[in-house]
Homo-oligomer: A and B are copies of this chain.
Amino acid sequence: MTGGARAATLDLTRDAGALTADLVDIESVSGDEAAIGDAIEAALRGLPHLRVDRDGDAVVARTDLARAERAVVAGHTDTVPLAGNLPSHVDGDLLYGCGTTDMKSGVAVALRLAAAMAEPVRDVTYVFYDCEEVEAARNGLGRLSRTHPDWLAGDFAVLMEPSDARVEGGCQGTLRVDVTTRGQRSHSARWWRGENAIHAAAPVLDRLRAYTPRRPVVDGLEYREGLNAVAITGGVAGNVIPDACTVSVNHRFAPDRSEDEALAHVREVFAGFEVTLVDSAPGARPGLDKPAAASFVAAVGGEPRAKYGWTDVSRFSALGVPAVNYGPGDPELAHTPHEHVSLAKIADCEARMRAWLAGR
């Protein structure tokens, strides 16, 4: 076990809401998942019906009952940066704190299933991985798909991303570009000798404000695109006309467009500006017509809808594993300072997943 001395202790017999709070209180902003990885690994190693593997801060556990079908249940352990929202606290039915909805409640349900379901009707592989909230190149599931693709093999995957306990089909793609303006440095007291690159970025922001995103219907589900500045930087010193300004723009695109098509669209929006691709990940079409997905939907109930956020269903899709999103968190609250989750929804989600794995 790596770094076991530092691991907090997780008790997988506590109810899923309490276990969610325990997980939330182990701070794990992307890149800092060693402690939570250690805690998960330690808790699972004690279970005789699981084989446990580790790669970096990712932990993979599986039953090996030679069932006809293998399901993958997956969740990421990292969170976005804190916003003054730790430690967690409970207010009535709601648990507040960074990662409550996205997605330590889903991780808690998966851990509870892993501990309690010693003989599921289908073999299950539980995947807990790092660095989902940062650029695609660092994604822990992406790393596993390169280093240990066999660990991810299965007939169907449930990614426990926040979906408000409804099955969400497919996902939107996401890409980031840097839109950079250039100028010429000079002393700001003699500004006419220079050319202000920050002022030159005004039309970039104007185009973002004026942009109207598409809402296309794909395989019966409506998606909702977006084009947003997520960062802006420029400046040399307090008395220097800046010679560069970079607007980092995130485009979320529906799964009827490929990454290349989406990038071409972004380049068109910023025609005349220097546009550099930073990061890109494809969307996934809903795929609910596939039999494995349809049987899961039937087991847990409810009306499927489109997934707006990019999720690793796209990665499973690329590996040929049909996958849906299903988790207790509310996606509308993800990454907000007042992020929270309903304790009742966590329990309900666990009960439906148990029924599915028990074949009831």
Interface residues of A (CB under 8 A from B): 80-81, 83, 102, 133-135, 172, 174, 176, 185-194, 196, 198-199, 201-202, 205-206, 208-209, 224, 226, 228-242, 245, 247-248, 250, 252, 279, 308-310, 331-332, 334-337
Contacts of A234 in B (CB 8 A): 229, 231-232
B239 touching A80, Cβ below 8 Å: yes
| Beta-carbon contact of A238 and B188 below 8 Å | no
Which of B190, B232, B238, B310 contacts A176, CB < 8 Å?
Answer: B238
Nearest CB of chain B from residue A144's CB, rounded to whole Å:
21
Chain B residue at smallest Cβ distance from A334: B187
Q: Are A242 and B230 in contact (CB under 8 A)?
A: yes
A230 and B226 within 8 A (CB): no
- B-chain residues with CB within 8 Å of residue A231 when the two chains form the complex: 198, 234-236, 238, 242
Q: Residues of B contacting A208 with CB < 8 Å?
A: 196, 198-199, 202
Task: List, in ascending order, chain B residues with CB within 8 A of A205's CB.
Answer: 198-199, 201-202, 205
Question: Can you spell out 13 A-B residue pairs with CB atoms less than 8 angstroms apart?
Answer: A80-B239, A133-B239, A134-B237, A185-B335, A188-B250, A191-B228, A196-B228, A196-B229, A198-B231, A198-B232, A199-B208, A205-B205, A230-B242
Measured in the bound complex, the distance between the Cα atoms of B66 and A340 in whole Å is 77
Cβ contact within 8 Å between B232 and A239: no
Question: How far apart are the CA atoms of A248 and B235 in the complex, in Å?
Answer: 9
CB contact under 8 A between A232 and B230, given known A185-B83, A187-B335, A190-B309: no
Distance in angstroms between the alpha carbons of A311 and B191 in the assembled complex: 16
Shortest CB-to-CB span from A187 to chain B, Å, is 4
B135 and A238 within 8 A (CB): yes
Evaluate contact between B189 and A240: CB separation under 8 angstroms.
no
Whole-angstrom CA separation of A235 from B185 in the bound complex: 24
- Residues of B near A206 (CB, < 8 A) are 202, 206
Bound-state Cα–Cα, A247 to B202, Å:
12
Q: What residue in chain B is nearest A235 (Cβ atoms)?
A: B231
Q: What chain B residues lie within 8 Å of A190 (beta carbons)? A: 308-309, 331-332, 334
Residues of B within 8 Å of A176, CB to CB, are: 238
A338, B86: Cα distance in complex, Å: 50
Smallest CB–CB gap between A14 and chain B, Å? 28
Closest Cβ–Cβ distance, residue A85 to chain B (whole Å): 11
| A81 CA / B234 CA spacing, docked (Å) | 15
Please state if A252 and B199 are interface contacts (CB–CB under 8 Å): no
Contact of A133 among B83, B192, B237 (CB under 8 A): B237
Q: Considering residues A133, A226, A332, which has the most beta carbons from chain B within 10 angstroms of its beta carbon?
A: A226
Q: How far is the CA of A310 from the CA of B252 in the complex (A)?
A: 47
Chain B's closest residue to A196 (CB) is B228
Which one, B81, B185, B189, contacts A336 given CB within 8 A?
Answer: B185
In the bound complex, CA of A189 to CA of B334 (Å): 10
Cα separation A224 to B241 with both chains bound (whole Å):
16
- Bound-state CA distance A46–B224 (Å) is 75
A143: min CB distance to chain B, Å: 18
Contact A229 B242 (CB under 8 A): yes
Q: Which residues of B contact A226 (CB under 8 A)?
A: 188-189, 191-192
A193 touches B229 (CB 8 A): no
Partner of A199, one of B133, B185, B224, B228: B228
Residues of chain B with a CB closer than 8 A to A134's CB = 237-238
Which of B80, B232, B308 meets A233, CB within 8 Å?
Answer: B232
